[in-house]
A and B are shown apart, each in its own frame.
Chain A
Amino acid sequence: MVKFTNKRRWTKRKGQAVSLYLMALPGVLVITIFCYLPMPGIILAFKDYDFSRGVFGSRWIGFENFRFFFASGVAWRLIRNTVGLNFLFMVTVQTCAVIIALLLNEIYEYHLAKIYQSVLFFPHLISWVIVGYFAYAILDADRGLINSIISHFGFGKISWYSEPKYWPAILNFISLWKGLGYFSIIYLAGMVAIDPEYYEAVRIDGGRKWHEMWYVTLPFIKPLIYINVFLALGRIFYGNFDFFYNVVRNTGQILSTTDIIDTYVVRTLTVLGDFNMAAAAGLFQGVCGFILILLANWVVRKIDSESAIF
């Protein structure tokens, strides 16, 4: 009997595994073709590419391609801006998204909730080009909205596009405005699936809204928060190019706080047309992000091993 069951179990497990392999196969195929096949190309960061000799035959020039980035004297500033601003954005957006999702979850009139949610999502649909126009319309020193209001109340006009110190806050606000709806949907989707029995339990124990949120909702979306933060960390060295390009628009005077790795690389590409340098920068960003992720994963595993990504 035992033998028989074992055999059945074994074939079943094998069958199960086969099904799983099959389920994963198409997706893996797509990723392999479009993401992993070009990846060896990253070696171009160390080469002087000549298509007639192919990727691997081209001349090896070591770290020469990295020189333009590090010898420029602004490398530290670029890294600081990229990582710092990304970190600021991440913290702001994730916190607010969680709060908003919590609030949305509490609204019992579904139609109202639907409306709020859709409306919150609108900014995400607007392309960065248009966002740039609006930013200009609002921040223009002569006719911008803010300056009109300020001068109406008697204060002096501020030339926003000339003062670097305001921009981290301005950019943060814009990033929040655009990302809030997007991320709150993710959290809301997680909250919606929570069994009401848990809330019942808290209420029976005499808890109020805040307790419900703290002891039930938040722990349930903890894994989601982790994954969002994780992914953001992995990409923390990659700035959102469209955002910066269209809103900051390479305005010289504010570059000290707004220039990020990506915009610098693209500017250089425009001037020199050298793709290898762009590859070098990309490699740098990827490696840094990777190290950061490994660190973060190690830390998380120490605290709460369930939530670690790998």
Chain B
Amino acid sequence: MTEKNSKLNDKSFKMTIIAIFIPICLISIIPLWVIFVASFTQDKAISDYGYQLWPKIFSLEAYTYIFTTPGLIGRAYLISTIVTVTGTIVGVTLMSMLAYTIAHRNFKLSKGLGFYVFFTMLFSGGVVPYYILVTRYLHLKNTIWILILPLLINPFSVMLLRTYFRRLPQSLFEAAELDGAGEFQIFFKIALPLSKPAIATIGLFSILSYWNDMYQALLFIDDQRLYPLPYLLYRIIFEHNIIQEGAQYTGTITPYQSVRMAMAVLAIVPILSAFPFIQRFFIRGITLGGLKGE
């Protein structure tokens, strides 16, 4: 019967899947593993032997180097976390509400808003006008807000969300409306719970864009106490591409390569640890409920 057929299908299918996925996974994991290993390798060994799958000569020098640079690492982690968490939560809320209005079928402005959002992906005013706006008119230079506000709304995410929302069955909404529900209630009680995977995706993208952002800091932050993590790490490394002509002080040799790797590890690890939490939303079957009653 169909059962037997699908079982057979499953077997050969599974084989195919494994055959495809194993090499892909290897290609995806190995670089990360190599980075991790390199961060614990002695710099000289990287230079001599290249990147290896296991530390040729184990060493903590990269991490020592980073953590003994006059102690701003902790603060940078804090700033990055605050910015990411606040930004993501607020941003996801704003974006989902906005996407909802764009996806709404009975709303006059929906198409207009959609275009309004989308247009920003095509054109931007350029660095100088943006800089002038932020520093002279908004006075947001060197504040924590400039790290959060500009990235709150990601047009790509909004358009994605709108597409997800559109696909939700219209009947649900009509039923709720007849029951006398207000828009907010429809949004929170119906639309959101059904879109958990989408929201999770958007949240993930938001987290990533905040965590890795260096551009806002590069332009607007001079105060070292407000440096987000990637920017601080970037500065620590690039501080040492110095003038070749006589520095005044002598320092010790910077373990360049391994420090860069350690830097990458430090930036990636927090995201990796957040991953399991997001994962829950990508399991098939969880979000169904909908018409069948909750």
Contact = CB atoms under 8 A, between A and B. Distances in A.
A310 B111 contact: yes
Given A126-B31, A185-B204, A310-B111, A106 B13 contact: yes
B81 to A, nearest CB: 17
Interface string A37-68: 11111101100010100010000000000000
A120 B24 contact: yes
A44 B129 contact: yes
The B interface, classified by DSSP as helix, strand, loop or mixed, is helix
Interface string B243-280: 00000000000000100110010011001100100010
Interface stretch (A84-92, A152-160, A203-211, A255-263): A203-211
Q: Specify which of A20, A126, A286 lies most central, judged by the most chain B CB atoms within 10 Å of its CB.
A: A20
B2 A309 contact: no
B235 to A, nearest CB: 14
B95 interface: yes
A190 B98 contact: no
A20 B164 contact: no
B184 A23 contact: yes
Given A114-B279, A203-B2, A231-B159, A38 B98 contact: no
Given A30-B153, A116-B25, A125-B272, A223 B163 contact: yes
B293 interface: no
A157 B258 CA distance: 28
A275 interface: yes
Given A36-B120, A234-B122, A55 B129 contact: yes
B78 interface: no
Contacts of B2: 203-204, 206
A35 B164 CA distance: 24
A118 B204 CA distance: 12
Contacts, number: 257
Interface residues of A, number: 91
The 6 closest A-B pairs by CB, nearest first: A41-B129, A38-B125, A27-B98, A41-B125, A189-B197, A19-B183
Given A195-B288, A203-B2, A220-B167, 16 more contacts: A21-B101, A23-B97, A23-B98, A38-B125, A107-B17, A122-B31, A125-B208, A127-B264, A129-B260, A180-B24, A189-B197, A196-B285, A206-B2, A208-B6, A278-B126, A286-B124
27 contacts: A21-B101, A28-B113, A31-B117, A31-B120, A38-B126, A38-B129, A39-B125, A41-B128, A41-B130, A42-B123, A103-B20, A107-B14, A107-B17, A113-B283, A114-B283, A118-B279, A119-B29, A121-B275, A122-B29, A143-B50, A181-B28, A191-B284, A192-B287, A231-B159, A282-B126, A286-B124, A310-B115
Interface of A: 15-17, 19-21, 23-24, 26-28, 30-31, 33-42, 44-45, 49, 51, 55, 100, 103, 105-108, 110, 113-114, 116-127, 129-130, 133-134, 137, 143, 177, 180-181, 185-186, 188-193, 195-196, 203-204, 206, 208-209, 220, 223-224, 227, 231, 234-235, 275, 278-279, 282-283, 286, 289-290, 293, 309-310
